Amino acid sequence: MVHKWCDEGIDASSLSLEQKRSCPLCRAKHPDNRSKEMIKQIRLWVEKGKAWAQKMLGDRYDEGIGVEQSYQQARELYELAASQRNASAQYNLGDMYREGQGVDQSYERAKEYYEAAARQEFASAQNSLGIFYANGRGVERSYETAREWWMKAAEQGHEGAVKGLQILDKQEGRTTPSFIPKPILNVPLATDHTIHY
């Protein structure tokens, strides 16, 4: 497998397609996500009990990438990873229960999985909990609790949470936004010291 850092660098770089097919650090071939080779490698890590691999193979089954699509297989793999506190797998299980994909639809179960991931600072799960509390899905409606979860997600830059907070502010008639993004640090300043309007 290609190193995570190398994979991200390959996708973001301006290298040629041929150069992108190998890892710039170790020169390992960059596998195709759909290839049998890639799936076989992931399965080996799943057998070793690696939560990240269980989640990754679960994603493949969920989306039908390189394997026949199966919500049941995805759920089983996500459950294995979730039992090891993999926040992304917990979040995906929450989505499955929210939508009723491969499971009986249950907002209560979805909320449990979202909450497990949210407590590990998983911003998308925090946003989903905000939505659940704002709409009263699987929980008693509470705009205060929705605001708390959205604030946590917004502080991590989650755009959906920022929009949720803006909607709450508007509903409550607030003139000052409840969330103001922090300024980006280490931005080079203008060298001419001129104030521009």
Residue 30 has a pLDDT of: 47
Beta bridge partners of 22: 29
What distance in Å separates the CA atoms of residue 102 and residue 113, rounded to the nearest whole number? 15
Q: Provide CB contacts within 8 A for 190, sequence distance 6+.
A: 196
Domain coordinates in residue numbering, the chain? 1-30, 106-179
- Asked whether the CA dihedral 61, 64, 67, 68 is positive or negative, the reply is positive
Mean pLDDT, to the nearest integer, of 132-149?
Answer: 96
The pLDDT-based confidence of 23 (bands split at 50, 70, 90) is low
Average pLDDT of every residue of the chain: 84
The pLDDT-based confidence of 196 (bands split at 50, 70, 90) is very low
Per the model's pLDDT, the better-predicted residue between 20 and 159 turns out to be 159
Count of alpha carbons within 13 Å of 159, Cβ hemisphere only? 0
Whether 34 has a pLDDT exceeding 70, the answer reads: no
Residue 36 has a pLDDT of: 84
Q: What is each CA distance from 50 to 40, 149, 172, in whole angstroms?
A: 14, 29, 46
For the chain, percent of residues with pLDDT exceeding 70: 75
pTM: 0.74
- What is the per-residue pLDDT across 71-127, written as a single tens digit (0 to 9) for each? 999 999 999 999 999 999 999 999 999 999 999 999 999 999 999 999 999 999 999
Whether 167 has a pLDDT exceeding 80, the answer reads: yes
Q: What is each CA distance from 159 to 84, 148, 165, in whole angstroms?
A: 28, 15, 10
